[in-house]
Amino acid sequence: MNIVGTLCVYAAICKYEGKPLQFPGNKVTWECYSEVSDADLIAEHQIWAAVDPYAKNEAFNVNNGDVFKWKHLWKVLAEQFGIEKYGLEEGKNVGLKEMMKGKESVWEKIVNEKELQKTRLEEVGFWWFVDILLSMMPMESPMLYMNKSKENGFLGFRNSKSSLITWIDKMKAFKIVP
């Protein structure tokens, strides 16, 4: 599943309704270091692992190779949708599944007014998935290191901030979100 698509739909609804882009996770996730894996990087890694002799019969972790804090990336998401008010509102964390209840007609209006691809909200918003990811408690050693891949010759990486912007731009270009 893809967290970016769901976050884009959530941001589009917030923008349309003139509401702040409230971080739906907890304070720990907001402030801790996180990592993600860009879909294109995963594909590159899979191709490398399938054809490179050094990767034969090995298991590897795949992530962008950097870390970030959601409190920094959340600003990027807000900016991409022209939302001025955003952030973590402590004590008001109810999760996206709860916040997006009853928003089907709002999404339908957005799709029609902005001439987006005809989608239903449940097709583009996986609220429960994002709620799980943004409410996880960090483990003692949460990072999936790419050392083994690097030692065996895979040197691909992505800047997570740039990756987020790229995927938001793609969602907009394909007229999935405004």
Is 86 in a helix, a strand, or coil?
Answer: strand
Output the tens digit of pLDDT for each of the chain's 178 residues.
789 999 999 999 999 999 999 999 999 899 998 899 999 999 999 999 999 999 999 999 999 999 999 999 999 999 999 999 999 988 777 899 999 999 999 999 999 999 999 999 999 999 999 999 998 766 544 567 889 999 999 999 999 999 999 999 999 999 999 9
In the prediction, which pLDDT does 135 show?
Answer: 86
pLDDT of residue 139: 56
Cβ distance 34 to 127 under 8 Å? no
Question: What is the β-pairing status of strands 68-69 and 86-87?
Answer: unpaired
State the pLDDT at residue 137: 65
Which pLDDT score, from 0 to 100, does residue 118 have? 98
Tokens found for residue 21: 């882009």
**Number of Cβ atoms within 10 Å of the Cβ of 157:** 15
Model's pTM, two decimal places?
A: 0.91
Residue 68 β-bridge partners:
34
Three-state SS string over 109-150 comes to HHHHHCCCCCCCHHHHCCHHHHHHHCCCCCCCCCCCCCHHHH
Residue pair 3/35 in contact (Cβ under 8 Å)? The answer is no
- Given a contact cutoff of 8 angstroms between Cβ atoms, the answer to whether 33 and 142 are in contact is yes
3-state DSSP assignment of residue 102: coil
In this structure, whether the domain defined by 3-173 belongs to CATH 3.40.50.720 is answered with: yes
Q: Burial letters for 66-79: b for 16+ Cβ neighbours within 10 Å, e otherwise?
A: eebebbebbebbbe
Buried b (16+ CB within 10 A) or exposed e, 98-128: ebbeebeeebeebbeeeebeebebeebbbbe
